Amino acid sequence: MEQPSNINYALIVKKDCPTCALIEPVIGKLAKRFTKDLEVYVQDDPTFPQIVDAPIDDTSLEFSYRNQIEVVPTLIRLGDEANSESRIYGWDKKQWQEFTGIEDLGSELIDFKPGCGSKTQDPGMDEILALRFGDKILQAREVELAEAEDEMEACFERGWSDGLPVVPPTALRVMRMLNGTNREADELIGKIPPDYAPCTIEKLAINAVMAGCKPEYFPTVITSVEAALQDKFCMHGLLCTTYFSSPVLIVNGPIVQQIGMNAGVNALGQGNRANATIGRALQLIIRNIGGGVPGGIDRATMGNPGKYTYCFAEDESDDSWNSLAMDNGYDRKDSVVSLFAGEGLQPILDQQSRDAASLSKSMAQSLRSVVNTKLFGLADAILVVCPEHRRVLMNSGWSKADLRNALYEELKTPGSKIIRGANGNAEGMPVKFEEKILDKFRDGGLHIVTTGGKAGMFSAVIGGWVASGERGSQLVSQKIR
Burial class (CB in 10 A: 0-12, 13-18, 19+), 163: exposed
HSE-up of 447 (CA within 13 Å, CB side)? 28
- The percentage of residues in the chain with a pLDDT greater than 90, rounded to a whole number, is 88
Q: What is the mean pLDDT of residues 465-479?
A: 92
Is the bond into 25 cis (omega within 30 degrees of 0)?
no
- The percentage of residues in the chain with a pLDDT greater than 70, rounded to a whole number, is 98
User: According to the per-residue pLDDT averaged within each range, which of 23-32, 129-138, 464-473 is highest?
Assistant: 23-32
Q: What is the pLDDT of residue 135?
A: 77
Q: What is the pLDDT of residue 83?
A: 55
> pLDDT tens digits, residue range 36-65?
889 999 999 999 999 998 899 999 999 999
Q: What is the pLDDT of residue 312?
A: 98
User: Residue 142 pLDDT > 90, yes or no?
Assistant: no
Q: What is the mean pLDDT of residues 425-448?
A: 97
Q: Distance between CA 413 and CA 250 in Å, rounded?
A: 31
> pLDDT tens digits, residue range 68-113?
999 999 999 987 555 578 999 999 999 999 999 999 999 999 999 9
Q: What is the pLDDT of residue 38?
A: 93
Q: What is the pLDDT of residue 139?
A: 85
Q: Under 8 Å CB-to-CB from 46, ≥6 apart: which residues?
A: 55, 57, 59
Q: Distance between CA 153 and CA 169 in Å, rounded?
A: 13
User: Residue 440 pLDDT > 50, yes or no?
Assistant: yes
Closest by CA position to 133, among listed 68, 227, 54 = 68
> pLDDT tens digits, residue range 283-311?
999 999 999 998 888 889 999 999 999 99
**Average pLDDT for the chain:** 94
- Banded model confidence at residue 190, pLDDT cuts 50, 70, 90: very high
Q: Distance between CA 57 and CA 162 in Å, rounded?
A: 46
User: Residue 225 pLDDT > 90, yes or no?
Assistant: yes
Q: How many residues would you count in the chain?
A: 481
Q: What is the mean pLDDT of residues 375-399?
A: 97
Domains and CATH numbers, the chain: 8-122 (3.40.30.10), 151-479 (no CATH)
Q: What is the dihedral of CA 398, 404, 408, 409, to 10 degrees?
A: -10
b/e code 22-46 from CB counts within 10 Å (16+ = b) = ebbebbebbbebbeebbbbbbbbee
Q: What is the pLDDT of residue 7?
A: 64
User: Residue 4 pLDDT > 50, yes or no?
Assistant: no
User: Residue 1 pLDDT > 50, yes or no?
Assistant: no
Q: Distance between CA 209 and CA 221 in Å, rounded?
A: 11
User: Residue 10 pLDDT > 70, yes or no?
Assistant: yes
Q: What is the pLDDT of residue 297?
A: 86
Decide if 19 contacts 114 (C-beta within 8 A).
Answer: yes
> pLDDT tens digits, residue range 242-279?
999 999 999 999 999 999 999 999 999 999 999 999 99
| Beta-strand runs (E) in 17-165 | 38-42, 56-57, 71-72, 74-78, 86-89, 91-92, 112-113, 116-117
